[in-house]
Every structure is written in C-alpha cells, then in structure tokens.
Structure 1
Amino acid sequence: MSKALLIIDMQVMPFIWKDYGGKPLYQEEKLLENTKQLIDNARKANSPVFYVMFTERQGSLRSENEPLWQAHEQIAPLGHDPIIIKYYADSFLDSELNHQLRDQGIDTLVICGVQTEYCVDTTVKSSYSHGYKVELAEDCHSTYDSDHLTAEQIINHHNSILTQFATMVRSSEVQF
C-alpha cells in the first residue's frame, strides 16, 4: 500500500476572509495544528504530500502565484511537494492529480482541508470513484457557519455521511 496526504485548498484566502467582512473559519488554529501533524508524519514516512490549490483564472488575487492563492505559511509546501492546480470543487476534474498519483503508485489518500461541504466532500467522493482507498482526517477539515447550520454541524454531518466513501480517522491516529 502506498499512501499520500492530500491537503485541499489550505490557502491564504479561507483564513483571512474574516478580516474582510466574511465569517471565521471554524477552529482554524486546530485545523493548522492537525495539518502540521499530518504533514510531519507523512514526511517521516516518506509519503508524498500533495497540495491541491483552488485557482481562479488570470487577473484574480486567487490566480496562480498571487497573494491569496498561496498555501498558508504555517503549512507551506517544500520544493519537492507536488502542487495540483484545480478550478473546480472536484480535485480530479481537469487537473493532473490522478495522473500524478498513478505515476507514484499511490492507492490510498489521506484527505484534509477546506471547505468541508464543497471541495473536501467532492474530492472524497471522487477519490473513491477513481478507485482510491480514502481516509478522511475527521478533525482536519473545516468550513464556515452557514445561514442554516453551524460549521460544527456541517462538519459532523459530513463526517457521518462520508463514511460511505472513506474511513474516518483522527489526525493523531493516521498511519503513513
């Protein structure tokens, strides 16, 4: 079994939205702490760490290499880490993700990131549909309160329904 860590959309924008009239990302410090732990454990086991980066078209502050596009500085990639550019909630759609995973012989994905009900949910399901074994770090994905549900309710709901597609694992218990 060959396992990789997929970090989804852990870029500057979700973390600073609250500073510009948006809502705060739920438990963002815990999210960063748990992500750092996953990265450290993956690196110790020589497992690849893939950074999946939501990207807007040229001319946006969220286009490739622009300030809001960058990975959060606390979990920034190293020079050898694969960076996957994506334009959709599904990390596989029109991206190099599947090709790069197959080239490295990866069959199992540990997934973490933002936003729970969008890119994380979609990528977990797509990973499963692409034939990967999936482990969702149940305490290492986040979102914002919606008009109808709290972020905690959204996360708990997705953790319960995504068991159809992934094994739920606490960050501290993930084995690479």
Structure 2
Amino acid sequence: MYALLILDMQVGLVHGPDKPWRGPALIDTLNGLMGSAREKGAPIFLARHIGPAGSPIEPGSPLTELVQELELLGNEVIFDKKRPNAFAQTDLATLLSERGCEGVVVTGMKTQYCVDSTCRAARDCGFDAVLIANVHTCSDTQELKAEAIVAHHNATLAGPFCRVIQAEEWTF
C-alpha cells in the first residue's frame, strides 16, 4: 500500500506574497488524489513546516495552517516538521510502517526544498517513493521560473530517487 503525503500546503506558502505556480490547479488535483486514496483505503498524511518560537512560522502561527481549499475529512494524519525532509525528526516512518505502507506518494510544496529532500530520503528510510509530476510546485526565484524548477526536479529525481508519474496515471 502507498500513502499520500502532502507537504506544506500552508496559508503562508500558498497565499503568501510569492504565489506558487499553478496553485489552484494543484489544489484541485490534490483533492482528487485524496478522494482516490480514500476510495482505496490508503492513508493520507499532511505535513506542516514550522519554525522556532518567535519566527513567522512558529507553532500555532496562522501561516502554518493548512489551506482551506483542501477537502479534509478529519481522518487524515496531520503532523509538524522542522526540517525539509519530512522523515527527519518526525514519526512519519513509524506511522507509515504501522499502517503497512511500502511506499509514499509525494506531493505539495516546495519542489526544490521539502519535496526534493523527502523524495531523496524515502528510500533511505525503507520506502518506495513516487513523485506526482504535476502535483508539486514552488514560486519563481530570481534565477529560475517555477515551471523550470519543477521540470528540473522531475527529471533529476526520476530513477535513482523515485518514480515520477502524472496524477492521471497514478492509482492507489
């Protein structure tokens, strides 16, 4: 079984000053993936990135809240993380193992940080990783447009770190 992992779809990142590339379309596709996961009984995990006390993303900050556009039913596992890698200093690996998951389907934000490091870490933690090519995103940087960042990571991560699949091709 594969679990759906949604990274950092938080108010501060999605609705902040640097809008993510294809944000509304990504949320629509995430909601569809959550529906598919529920139909097959696959667990759904949502990570929120938090920072130290006194930072804009300190625990409890409104910026760390999950965006309202996600269709959550209340049976999802929501956890906080302090590192880009969702496995680092969290119980994610244990929670996946307890649910009999052999793999994790990685989605969310930001491509070049948390999505990248989580995909790279999954196999080291004993899990197959699947990156949904059209369901991760980021904002433009001074060096690169978000579309180029996403395309680069889809190409770089495919093979040695994870399988890269379009949302329409994935089934739980």
- TM bucket (normalised to shorter chain) is over 0.9
Contact 1:51 1:77 in 2 (8 A): no
Structure 2 residue 167 is matched with structure 1 residue 171: yes
Of 89, 93, 96, which residue of structure 2 is paired with 1:98? 93
SS of equivalent to 1:120: helix
Question: Is 1:133 equivalent to 2:109 in the alignment?
Answer: no
CA–CA distance in structure 2, aligned partners of residues 146 and 139 of structure 1? 19
Q: Tell me the amino acid that sits aligned with residue 171 of structure 1.
A: A
CA contact (8 A) 2:14 2:20 kept: yes
2:60 aligned residue: 65
Alignment of 1:15-164 (within 5 A): 15-18=14-17, 23-75=18-70, 77-163=72-158, 164=160
Structure 1 residue ranges without an equivalent (≥5): none
The alignment covers a number of residue pairs equal to: 171
> C-alpha displacement at 1:61, in angstroms?
4.4
RMSD after superposition: 1.3
Question: Residues 12, 76 of structure 1: CA spacing in aligned structure 2 closer, same or farther, 3 A cutoff?
Answer: farther
Whether the 8 Å CA contact 2:7–2:48 is kept in 1: the answer is yes
Opposite residue 10 of structure 2, the aligned amino acid is Q
Unaligned ranges ≥5, structure 2: none
1:74 is paired with a residue whose SS is: coil
**Preserved CA contact (<8 Å) 1:37 1:171:** no
TM-score (norm 1): 0.92
